[in-house]
Amino acid sequence: MSSTASATAAAPLPRRPNAINELTLNVSGMSCAGCEEKIRLALKDVPGVVSTTASHETGDVRVELDVDQASVDEVRRAIEQAGYEVRS
Ligand SMILES: [Cu+2]
């Protein structure tokens, strides 16, 4: 009389909603639409970056990023490597 019933029903994994976060940085040194484009291109290659919106008028760079993959430090470094200064 052996009971081999397994009572370990797999608990449903907690589903992470696509963890995308938005980050806004203030960047100095942008003076025209070409600068905005340069920053967008620089961030395109950073892992986890989903999209970038830059404005040379306000100096704001808004980055949508997948927090599972992206690191804020890498985002800042990419902007600095493109020749701009991240103020905040
Ligand atoms: Cu420019």
Give residue 52's pLDDT: 97
CA 36 – ligand 1 centroid, Å: 7
Chain mean pLDDT for the chain: 87
CA 73 – ligand 1 centroid, Å: 23
CA 46 – ligand 1 centroid, Å: 21
Please tell me the distance from the alpha carbon of residue 38 to that of residue 58, in angstroms, as a whole number. Answer: 16
Give 21-35 pLDDT, tens digit per residue.
899 999 999 999 999
Query: Where in the chain are the domains?
Result: 20-86
Strand partners, 66: 20
* Range name among 6-20, 38-52, 69-83 with the lowest pLDDT average: 6-20
Please tell me the distance from the alpha carbon of residue 32 to that of residue 11, in angstroms, as a whole number. Answer: 53
More confident residue, 15 or 58: 58
CA 45 – ligand 1 centroid, Å: 20
Topology of the domain comprising 20-86: Alpha-Beta Plaits (3.30.70)
Q: pLDDT band for 88, please (50, 70, 90 cuts).
A: confident
pLDDT exceeds cutoff 80 at 14: no
Residue recorded with tokens 């200064």? 85
